[in-house]
Amino acid sequence: MSHQTISMQAVQYTYPDHTPALQEISFLITQGESVALIGGNGAGKSTLLSLLVGIVFPTSGIVNIGGTDLTHKTAAEVRRSIGMVFQNPDDQLFMPTVFDDVAFGPLNMGLSQEQTNQLVNEALTTVGAAHLSRRSSLRLSIGEKRSVSIASVLAMTPDILLMDEPTSGLDPWSRRQLIGLLQNFGHTRIIATHDLDFAMDVCQRTLVLKNGRVVADASTHEILQNTELLASCRLEPPLRLQRS
């Protein structure tokens, strides 16, 4: 895994209808950090992730990935180091079988069938989904789809893993499996989530977004014990920190 950092410098993004989405966003994330991105609905979490992967581009400011400014010209190069797991697995599973879905990325990166087969098998084994290889992705449970969508990203051997609400729709067993998986990753991770107990388990650092601005950036433990801050962002403390 190559050295990777992620930074935003005074980033602003305005929707085409001139509504401001993100304002003066600045932060630096270093290799191997696991960072939660939290905030109420409409705070700008998904938009921020979209900027990091080059789905959209800043109205002003700089997004830098591993020393390269992310622009229309550099986007294809930068995306090779980033894996994005979308909130809805159906947005990234579209091939006839699970194997084909996971193989899609490596094959489009120009890897041989032999190399691709190895990466697919390793990725599916990592997420505990090797037994699903020949199944149709359309006929899987939400937890199984989530695992396969993560495998489809891992097969492209990214340095950075972005995840948008990864526990959404998971049953308790699948959620616990995902926590164990992420705790063993060496990837730099940015995880947008409303599941603050999950954030406590997998992220050492947390960024808090409110009205398109970063209003707090500190250790996850410190952030999640700040009930006044959480309330101001329409968030509840993790269940394990709530007093009866």
| Pair of tokens at residue 76 | 């294809």
8 Å CB contact between 33 and 7? no
Tell me the pTM.
0.89
pLDDT in tens, 117-155: 999 999 999 888 899 999 999 899 888 898 899 899 989
Q: Which of 203, 168, 199, 197 is nearest to 29 (CA)?
A: 203
Q: Hey, is 6 helix, strand or coil?
A: strand
* Domains with residue ranges and CATH for the chain: 1-81+159-239 (3.40.50.300), 88-157 (no CATH)
pLDDT in tens, 156-176: 988 899 999 988 877 888 788
8 Å CB contact between 90 and 142? no
Mean local confidence (pLDDT), 180-196: 90
8 Å CB contact between 81 and 188? no
8 Å CB contact between 38 and 220? no
Q: Which of 15, 14, 19, 25 is nearest to 61 (CA)?
A: 25
